[in-house]
Structure 1
């Protein structure tokens, strides 16, 4: 089973400085401290960092609903960037919108450490078998 610790131990999460934590309700929240390496030319957090946070938060929410022999790969995303960020910490929480036999749809919101919403995104994920067999659910 893909677990949050498996994802968090990945090289890409480490590159971004992304971490997972539990909020007061026991839900998984991802966070990325803003560092200079994450800024684009104009001194704002690069949109790709925010997209990665949305992708990861949605994927975590979906993976938590899957059985031990399945995983999810992103096939499409849509993001609305609402405001720029220059410093602080970014947070994201994902949610499952639809979980089918071969596709899942998730969404995530990103906010800053002042509680302002930074972005909203949705994504479609292809469900895969981790055991090498067909991934469909009954």
Structure 2
């Protein structure tokens, strides 16, 4: 018995190995639609999504005495955005387009750097305000 034909077989013809080129389907059917400008926009979009995913994964610390319900909601909202952005990036990478893959990796890397850099700077400023610098000055 022959398998049942798909209603839209042309939409199902995706490449299953990495390839270069603007002829990709990223997140939505007919996007970027073989257009170089839209392909560049797709790369930029995935890059920004990956950065945002890393930035929201590092939640700021909550102040002592914060209402537990509000703290839980606050963390849940950050988690919602982190997971949403991460899944969108994963789905975009599943297009197997190398440009999209490189944009995702570069975005995650830059986002990680930015979030860790600012967290380190914030921690150093907190240590300076509290007078507990990690640097010993010898005279």
Question: How high is the TM-score relative to the length of structure 2?
Answer: 0.29
Larger-gyration structure (1/2): 2
The structure whose RCO (Cα within 8 Å, separation 6+) is larger is 2
* Higher fraction of helix: 2
Q: 1 or 2, which has the higher strand percentage?
A: 1
